[in-house]
Amino acid sequence: MSHLHIQSKLPEVGTTIFTVMSALAAEFKAVNLGQGFPDYPMSAELTALVTEAMNKGYNQYSPMPGWMPLREAIAEKIAFLYNAAVNPETEITITPGGTYAIYTALTTVLRPGDEVIVFEPGYDSYIPNIIVNGAIPVRIDLLFPDYRIDWEKVRAAITPKTRMIMLNSPHNPTGAVLREEDIQQLRNLVQNTNIIIVSDEVYEHIVFDNVKHQSILRYPDLAQRSFVCFSFGKVYHCTGWKLGYCIAPAAFTSEFRKVHQFNCFSCHTPSQVALATFLRNKESYLSLGSFLQQKRDYFLQLMKSTRFTMLDSKGSYFICAQYDRISDESDKEFAIRITKEFGVAVIPVSAFYQDATDNKVVRFCFGKKEETLALAAERLSRI
Ligand code: PMP
Ligand code: GLN
């Protein structure tokens, strides 16, 4: 026991809801549709490539910005998908996951007192990342229930201190996606300002109903003021690998690397060597949207036998639902109770609001085997 006191930099923060709900799911042997991770196997070809890399001796530090052939493969992919020229030498950095890429981008830019516009509900790491850097989150609610951005609210929130806007499309937890009109609004808002954008695009391939993913990288005027963050965990069903990357203009990237090199320095080498080969197989990522769309549609069909009101999901592997026809408990109480009593773990969406706004909505992860989804829906139909 130490007699020394540390004044918390994050006094409002406890253990993340994902950890809490996964622990509860394990304790009560519940079907876990809470934390976002697939329960089906990843590609055996990709794991074989990692083994091959290890057997060939690729087991030492890779270069600080990342394994060059992987950065080159990423640049080719970005040119193919988004018609954007990204320099692998100066504009791509491999990171230990998307969360780390976002944290590093924020830490690279933010100074005490800077304001950051952030939408809620939003991925739970953003606001603590802002606060730990001494900056101020300026929270804007997405419009319930379709979770669109109200650009007039954004315009009204901009002040001379606004340093950054954080975007996430496809969106966790709601499955909303940015449309071309949103991008136009964003362009109008930020032109002639020094606002920097951090765009979390970890679900870039998981977009449904023939909608196009609006990567910031498609728009040179926006890309030149952005850090765009990605995660291999989402693309290749390997969330435990914690590997991702950040794309940003050379001047931003050189500052980003100053922070990165004294934090983790470099990432797991064998998986980078393997991904450099695997990424060239376009089908490996182009098939992801239809693969998960089928799961969304299957889950939606199953959920018709329940009393949940399903909201729309246009992307990601999440879908939200209202439960007001079932209960008037708070979403947290409801999520905990159905995990314990009915054996299905979900995430209460209030966890994605700093002030715990409760619209009586829970999030399901449908990136699961069909049998898992069927078992969960059968249990949910009894509530
Ligand atoms: N952003 C969002 C919106 C996510 O859902 C996730 C997945 N947890 C991440 C970032 C982080 O991905 P990673 O696991 O690669 O850190
Ligand atoms: N991204 C995942 C989710 O939203 C889990 C991330 C985590 O556990 N930190 O469920």
Q: Is the CB of 353 under 6 A from ligand 2?
A: no
Provide CATH code, domain 60-281. 3.40.640.10
Q: What kind and span of H or E run contains 81?
A: helix 68-82
Q: Whose CA is nearest to atom 7 of ligand 2?
A: 18
Distance CA 126, CA 103 (A): 8
pLDDT in tens, the chain (383 residues): 788 999 999 998 988 899 999 999 999 999 999 999 999 999 999 999 999 999 999 999 999 999 999 999 999 999 999 999 999 999 999 999 999 999 999 999 999 999 999 999 999 999 999 999 999 999 999 999 999 999 999 999 999 999 999 999 999 999 999 999 999 999 999 999 999 999 999 999 999 999 999 999 999 999 999 999 999 999 999 999 999 999 999 999 999 999 999 999 999 999 999 999 999 999 999 999 999 999 999 999 999 999 999 999 999 999 999 999 999 999 999 999 999 999 999 999 999 999 999 999 999 999 999 999 999 999 999 99
CA of 308 to the centre of ligand 1 (A): 26
Residue-range domain boundaries for the chain:
17-42+286-380, 60-281
Candidates 1.20.1420.30, 3.90.1150.10, 2.130.10.10, 2.40.30.10; correct CATH number of 17-42+286-380? 3.90.1150.10
Strands 31-32 and 344-345: parallel
Quote the tokens at residue 168. Answer: 């996430």
Distance CA 19, CA 99 (A): 15
Strands 309-310 and 318-322: antiparallel
Nearest ligand to the C-alpha of residue 100? 1
Residue 348's alpha-carbon distances to 40, 114, 171, 184, 298, in angstroms, are: 24, 30, 16, 32, 22
Q: Give the number of other Cβ atoms within 10 Å of residue 140's Cβ.
A: 19
Q: Do 226 and 197 meet the contact criterion of CB atoms below 8 Å apart?
A: yes
Q: Is the CB of 172 under 6 A from ligand 2?
A: yes
Q: Is the CB of 125 under 6 A from ligand 2?
A: no
Residues whose beta carbon lies within 6 Å of some atom of ligand 1: 36, 97-99, 123, 168, 172, 200, 202, 231, 233, 239, 242, 244
Domains 17-42+286-380 and 60-281 share a fold: no
CA of 98 to the centre of ligand 1 (A): 5
